[in-house]
Amino acid sequence: MTPVVFQAGPDASAVSLTVTNSSNPQISLTIPVTNSSETYIYQALEVTVNAGSPYLYVDSCSYSYSGSSSTSYALTLNIIVYPTTGSPSSPAGTITITASTSSCKPNGSVQLTAGQAYYVDFQVEPSLPIPNGASSATLTIYFGLSNQTPTVTVPPP
């Protein structure tokens, strides 16, 4: 059994989420850029912790915008982690990413608990109002886990 399993959440299709569960799980999503400066949230990922109490953090990230080079839209992304049995108003923690086409800086980590499943919400905060018809931005996130328990063996029934 894998100690930590990533899987698609309810809004995964809205952000073209790709999940690869491997030794270094990669989470990739395409954030649609809207004609708004409002905050919007995607509940795109779930994490199940089968063993241990690892810390979830962003190991690295990259951000690209495919529109005009004269208009590069920066954003702040809050990755809000909370138990599936709890409330979004009581998160286990938040990881913040400040992203522009010139840099992508993650900050923070969240401790997870064995036997618990979590929703991971992506709260997007554009830095400027974005004109109608703007292209999509792509944010690629590589999550890391520290203090991770090795593979767990399950005894036969």
Cα–Cα dist 139/123, whole Å? 13
Q: Report the Cα–Cα distance between both ends of the chain, in Å, rounded.
A: 15
* Cβ atoms 58, 79 nearer than 8 A: yes
In the predicted structure, residue 141 carries a pLDDT above the cut 70: yes
pTM: 0.81
Mean pLDDT of the chain: 78
CB atoms within 10 A of CB 105: 12
Contacts of 148 (CB under 8 A, 6+ apart): 3, 4, 52, 54
Domains of the chain: 4-146 (2.60.120)
* Cβ atoms 145, 4 nearer than 8 A: yes
pLDDT in tens, 17-55: 778 776 555 677 776 666 566 677 888 889 999 888 899
pLDDT in tens, 3-16: 888 888 888 888 77
CB atoms within 10 A of CB 42: 21
Cα–Cα dist 79/92, whole Å? 11
Tokens representing residue 113 in the block? 């608990």
Q: Which residues pair with 122 in a beta bridge?
A: 42, 79
